[in-house]
Structure 1
Amino acid sequence: MLKKKLALGISTLSLLAVIITGCGSNSTASNSVGNSANTTASNESNPSETVQNSGEKVMAGGTVRVAMSTEPDNLDPYLSAATDTNSMMDNVFDGLFEAGEDSDLVPAIASSYQVSEDGLTYTFILKQGIKFHNGADLTSKDVYYSYAKLSGLNGQEPLSSKFSGIESIDTPDDYSVVIKLKEKNAAFLAANIIAIVPKDYEQQSEKPIGAGPYKFVEYKPGQELVLEKNENFYNKDHTPVIDKVEFKIMPDANAAVLALQSGDIDMIPGISSQGVLQLGDGYTVISGPQNMVQLMALNNSVKPLNDVKVRQAINYAIDKDAIIQTVAEGNGTKLGSNMSPAMKMYYQEGLEDYYKTNVDKAKELLNEAGYPNGFDLAITVPSNYQFHVDTAQVIADQLKKAGINATIKQIEWSSWLEDVYNNAKYEATIVGLTGKLDPQEVLGRYETTYAKNFFKFSNADFDKLISEGKIEINEAKRADLYKQAQTLLTEQAAAVFIMDPNRTVAMKGNLKGFKMYPVQKYDFAEMYYTEQ
């Protein structure tokens, strides 16, 4: 068997965070959905050591009040699809590994692991002495229960496609788990950051219980989600300093800025450039790329979007540079396919200019497709994110020049998840797809058989590339397969891939320790207040 170290890097993503005190940086948070968990965190520092070196003094305890623009879609980590929900509840749950700053898998519940020579069998050794928030010991039985639910080995439908390839799960003792796969899956290891939940506990949607650094206290719909410090957290090097975290549901971005100014909240995890300017001096603002893809998804199964020439025409009619400059105020990276350049090794360069804005070409393609006078197009947008609404408005104006009459339909986020994400009842929609650390999780969203393929994109050549990439162990060959897949998505105009928008976080001046990750994550166990 091949013995692996937990700090093994999956890929190297460079996330440069610019820290500014007072007014300065800019960015926008995007409503986003994810099809899986994330990975990695290392080089963690002890708050007291950090502050001692900087000459500041840590305050013990305290409460962080965070403005969140969206409601949790489900508190159960296996049933939630919203990235914002995962960012909040990630503090409640831990997986075998956890996500971190440098895109490498680092230990959480697992202390070590081995992979067999044929790549089919994974053996995980668990840390001992870990307790769930209800006081129960965490053992291999809980891992079995969790993964049986995810994989469908409990006799039910698999809750995650990433685990449906598990053939068997064995627990030789209380702290060993042996998982055998049906076939090699190069993306499997990265999937093991998903939450481990207590055996036979079926109330996660009402009162979630995990083993993370914070415990669930209460959720009041439309008001707040409250967490409190887990005094018995197993990782003593990562013991929380902050006593309580209160996520305040505030869909109005301007109201959130005013609340931060008045002292009613302490942190806005996604603030616009205008909001930063409105704040003025005395706040900490952190900005960096998100490893996210903002796009206008096109339902490939409805007329006339089932015609590739129509989808290509739409791409030619849209000026992404103008969107980035007007909506993101220049703080975004133009994209040409469903991958951010943050995923350096797997990113196919050059696709961002595949469809250079050309209205005449758009009209020509529409004429060839049988729509010389254009057509009507409904763009469905989650109303609680102004960034997407503004993007839709710019796109609607641009499409008019090609004869496409676009109307904007704003709906609530919960309705978007149900109608668009779950049931593909839409024509076009604008949303942000959260970044992942493995390309399979990013591009697998477009596989014909993927349950949440709300694009309804179906292409045999693409499916073949994704299937081959999933089992290819050679990193260079695997990267080439995913680059080909990106190119095919672009050529087929599966969607309009717009940008990776920067994320900007604003906080009280004495709230410290916030870290930027290559996935959306708010690690409150790393945060603390300093004495003013």
Structure 2
Amino acid sequence: MNRKTLVLPALAGLLAPVLAACGSTDGAGEGGNPIVVGVASQINATKAAPAPLDPAQAYDVDAWNMLRGTLQTLMRLPRTGTAPVPEAAESCGFRDTQNEQFRCTLRKGLKFSNGDALTARDVKFSFDRMQNINYVNGPVSLLNGIDKVETPNDGEVVFQLKKPDATFPQKLATPAAAIVDSAEYPKNGLYKGFGVVGSGPYTLKAEHTENHITKAVFTKNPEYKGGIKAKNEKIEMRFFKDGPAMERALRKGDIDLMNRGLAPDQIKGLENARDKHIALQEMPGQEIRYLAFNTKDPAVANKAVRQAMAQLVNRSVLVRDVYGYTGDPLYSLVPTGLTGHINSFFTKYANPSVPAARKILQQANITTPVKLTLTYTTNHYGSSTAKEFQTLRSQLNKSKLFDVDIKGVDNWQQFRTDASAGKYTAYGMGWFADLPDADNYIAPFIGKGNFLNSPYRNSKIESQLIPNTRQQTDRNAAADDFKQAQNIFADDVPVLPLWQGKQYVAARDDVTGVEWALNSSSALQIWELGRGVSD
């Protein structure tokens, strides 16, 4: 996910509940004021991306956080841990030893928020629709392994896979696999605007100004049937232009909780407890940041240019000077803590070195300085992104081997559209994992229909390594193939990993359930939040 906006996440069950409010939590959040969650980004509808809450289009962390509360999936990640559990399904599982046939039995009495019954027909419709629309910046690549979806009866769904895929149950737990109403959503087109018709634990009413959401109200769905037990009656999301504006709202009491978009100085201030009614909880996270390259662009088409950039970038300085140690240097697309991780970029390039970068370029007969532009989005990954790219420019230009300019783009959807269309030479992206597995840090970036729409291809990763890993139900057995893939990325540099972030949740002290607010994919679980008694 880009996330999407992106260390193995802490399993919430291993964390001390440091933010539990005092007093009883019985009935917390019921009948009173809604719990208000701040979001420091915008969800826009544009001409190119007109349906930000349609699962066929939506593929960023903020939109997915909204969809998880309103649309059901057959499976979901539990409060803690990485093994999916049934959600709209009563039971699910592989029905063969090759991990190629997956069968689910639906819960009885499922209904959409408009009163329509949810049947196996709607499940098949949803998956077929995702593949029919095939939206270029959407999450369809997660479901490309499906050969066909069968419905033996109204309560049963069978997925026939093209190849074995041990990660398929986790993919069914993502909003890419959300179930929509076949009578409401168009078969071959997007559900435009900001409406959602789902069967999840909440119904949604979104307020918007022109083309972006300003407020979203989630109301507990009385018809919901699933495994989630909501701790509140109503959640409200309010959207802010940046982290400082969101923090001011938290300190004033206008919002109750926030977890993304905080700048390092804000985190330090919250850690220093300047407000006794607000507490900050730190969790290891699986967010990563990286540079993506259009490998067909003449400026970076020769991999020696990309290798030289990998040789020059000083990740430790980025983490120290830009992010105040709220993240860690990252030397692979697969973050530390996940099975199969290795520091492949550090092994190949070691510490930053101008002489080593110069040698790479000279051996490839590259004329220096290499002129190119680094593009970034100004309002999607936090207010520190501009400083990050200023620092990258400085590091590259000080070598005298590069002549780098930088450009910020305000509109996230336009940024994604233009990046996917190959209009940028190199650009900054983030990734929140769709599922907590090394597969999700490699497979989405490779092959036809990849998340970035990158022209980069590698037949060994695509046809050998990834298929091998997906045959392994025991993910430890897949580690060697993941390591090979990471080493190939370090040599070809289609993307350049920079750093991985920690997760922070700041909340007022009468909010309960904060220790469960993020699951093992760092996804927001709004149903875990309740209202307690403040000191």
TM range (shorter): 0.7 to 0.9
Q: CA deviation at 1:80?
A: 0.9
Cα distance change on mapping 1:441 and 1:418 into 2, 3 Å? same
Q: CA deviation at 1:525?
A: 1.0
Cα distance change on mapping 1:494 and 1:236 into 2, 3 Å? closer
Report what 1:64 is aligned to: 35
For 2:460, give the aligned amino acid: D
Structure 1 Cα separation of the partners of residues 449 and 10 of structure 2? 25
Q: CA deviation at 1:335?
A: 1.6
Query: Within 5 Å, which residues of 2 pair with 1:220-259?
Result: 220-221=208-209, 222=212, 224-235=214-225, 238-259=228-249
For 2:128, give the aligned amino acid: A
Report what 1:334 is aligned to: 329
Cα distance change on mapping 1:372 and 1:147 into 2, 3 Å? closer
SS of alignment partner, residue 238 of structure 1:
coil
Deviates more, 1:265-274 or 1:426-435: 265-274
TM-score (norm 2): 0.84
Deviates more, 1:124-133 or 1:265-274: 265-274
Structure 2 Cα separation of the partners of residues 423 and 70 of structure 1? 23
Answer yes or no: is 1:114 the counterpart of 2:93.
Answer: yes
SS of alignment partner, residue 409 of structure 1:
strand
For 2:376, give the aligned amino acid: V
Task: Check the 8 A contact 1:129/1:234 in 2, yes or no.
Answer: no
Q: CA deviation at 1:195?
A: 0.9
Cα distance change on mapping 1:325 and 1:85 into 2, 3 Å? same
Alignment deviations for residues 17-45 of structure 1 (CA, whole Å, 9 cap, x no partner): xxxxxxxxxxxxxx932399xx999979x
Task: Check the 8 A contact 1:290/1:520 in 2, yes or no.
Answer: yes
Q: CA deviation at 1:389?
A: 1.9
Query: Within 5 Å, which residues of 2 pair with 1:255-266?
Result: 255-266=245-256
Query: Within 5 Å, which residues of 2 pair with 1:410-425?
Result: 410-412=408-410, 413-420=412-419, 422-425=420-423
Answer yes or no: is 1:98 the counterpart of 2:76.
Answer: yes
For 2:491, give the aligned amino acid: E
Report what 1:18 is aligned to: none
Query: Within 5 Å, which residues of 2 pair with 1:343-492?
Result: 343=338, 345-349=339-343, 351-355=345-349, 356-384=351-379, 385-403=382-400, 404-412=402-410, 413-420=412-419, 422-435=420-433, 436-469=435-468, 471-473=470-472, 475=474, 476-492=476-492
Task: Check the 8 A contact 2:87/2:227 in 1, yes or no.
Answer: no
Report what 2:182 is aligned to: 199
Task: Check the 8 A contact 1:511/1:530 in 2, yes or no.
Answer: yes
Answer yes or no: is 1:503 the counterpart of 2:481.
Answer: no
For 1:76, give the aligned amino acid: D
Answer yes or no: is 1:316 the counterpart of 2:289.
Answer: no
Q: CA deviation at 1:243?
A: 3.1
Task: Check the 8 A contact 1:363/1:372 in 2, yes or no.
Answer: no
Alignment deviations for residues 274-320 of structure 1 (CA, whole Å, 9 cap, x no partner): 11344522212122222122111222111231112111110111111
Structure 2 Cα separation of the partners of residues 236 and 457 of structure 1? 41
Q: CA deviation at 1:523?
A: 1.2
Task: Check the 8 A contact 1:151/1:160 in 2, yes or no.
Answer: yes
Task: Check the 8 A contact 1:151/1:165 in 2, yes or no.
Answer: no
Report what 1:32 is aligned to: 2
For 1:444, give the aligned amino acid: A
Alignment deviations for residues 46-67 of structure 1 (CA, whole Å, 9 cap, x no partner): x9xx879x65663534312222
Specify every segment of 5 or more residues in structure 2 that has no aligned partner in the other structure, as ranges. Answer: 45-51
Alignment deviations for residues 412-431 of structure 1 (CA, whole Å, 9 cap, x no partner): 212211111x3121011112
Q: CA deviation at 1:471?
A: 4.3
Q: CA deviation at 1:459?
A: 2.2
Q: CA deviation at 1:492?
A: 1.6
Structure 2 Cα separation of the partners of residues 263 and 146 of structure 1? 40
State how many pairs are aligned. 493
Structure 2 Cα separation of the partners of residues 284 and 40 of structure 1? 18
For 1:130, give the aligned amino acid: L
Q: CA deviation at 1:239?
A: 3.5
Structure 2 Cα separation of the partners of residues 202 and 310 of structure 1? 46
Answer yes or no: is 1:189 the counterpart of 2:186.
Answer: no
Cα distance change on mapping 1:443 and 1:178 into 2, 3 Å? same
The one of 119, 122, 126 aligned to 1:146: 126
Deviates more, 1:408-417 or 1:441-450: 441-450
Structure 1 Cα separation of the partners of residues 473 and 61 of structure 2? 31
Alignment deviations for residues 339-389 of structure 1 (CA, whole Å, 9 cap, x no partner): 11232x222245445322111211222233334531222111101132322
SS of alignment partner, residue 373 of structure 1:
coil
Cα distance change on mapping 1:349 and 1:409 into 2, 3 Å? closer
Cα distance change on mapping 1:187 and 1:114 into 2, 3 Å? closer
Alignment deviations for residues 232-289 of structure 1 (CA, whole Å, 9 cap, x no partner): 2535763334333332221222211112112222222222331134452221212222
SS of alignment partner, residue 362 of structure 1:
helix
Cα distance change on mapping 1:512 and 1:205 into 2, 3 Å? farther
Cα distance change on mapping 1:274 and 1:43 into 2, 3 Å? closer
Structure 2 Cα separation of the partners of residues 159 and 519 of structure 1? 16
For 2:265, give the aligned amino acid: Q
For 2:444, give the aligned amino acid: R
Structure 1 Cα separation of the partners of residues 226 and 417 of structure 2? 40
Structure 2 Cα separation of the partners of residues 155 and 314 of structure 1? 34
For 2:181, give the aligned amino acid: P
Q: CA deviation at 1:521?
A: 1.5
Percent identical residues: 20
Report what 2:197 is aligned to: 209
Structure 2 Cα separation of the partners of residues 191 and 41 of structure 1? 19
Report what 1:126 is aligned to: 106
Cα distance change on mapping 1:165 and 1:445 into 2, 3 Å? closer
Structure 2 Cα separation of the partners of residues 448 and 123 of structure 1? 27
Alignment deviations for residues 78-106 of structure 1 (CA, whole Å, 9 cap, x no partner): 21122221112211112011123311111
Deviates more, 1:350-359 or 1:71-80: 350-359
Structure 2 Cα separation of the partners of residues 32 and 431 of structure 1? 7
Query: Within 5 Å, which residues of 2 pair with 1:294-313?
Result: 294-313=289-308
The one of 281, 289, 303 aligned to 1:286: 281
Task: Check the 8 A contact 2:134/2:140 in 1, yes or no.
Answer: no
Task: Check the 8 A contact 1:446/1:456 in 2, yes or no.
Answer: no
Cα distance change on mapping 1:76 and 1:155 into 2, 3 Å? closer
RMSD of the alignment, in Å?
A: 3.0
